[in-house]
Chains A and B, each alone.
Chain A
């Protein structure tokens, strides 16, 4: 089983739509969780951390379910500029980040 698994997509959604991405991780000792955004042939950029209590940043909401080892990202009111690959990232303490393959999102006008 892969350490971090994501639905690769692509998710093709119209502007203004709400879209949700899911991610599962295999290492129950994982402690820190993140969503990164990566544009084509660019470096990943931190979108937000994911906390057990759930957290929201504008149109983005991240949730963590430790019991199910499951992370989600919800994007509301999608913009064209949201088109990118979203990477689920997990780490155990100060060990290197483990990246999922990413989920591709295309927001269509």
Chain B
């Protein structure tokens, strides 16, 4: 059974700083996903990482995947307030694309 762990659970960071959110998973996962959730809203897809060594970037966010270490990272560069949200990683085992989610990392970017 796939288990997904994220850390930290909560992250308060100043604008302009860099930080990384870590996502470890327990068994082979076909793909690794990152989602963003704003308060009171639903989840929206950020990145899908399909293979070992995959790197995706959009704006100040960059996600990477190391399947040998069973680790994905979401790196935030020069954070801005608009990035404040909860970020979830998820893996799937290929069965009906059913995803297993981490518990989420609540990111708060302060001035």
- Do the two chains bind? no
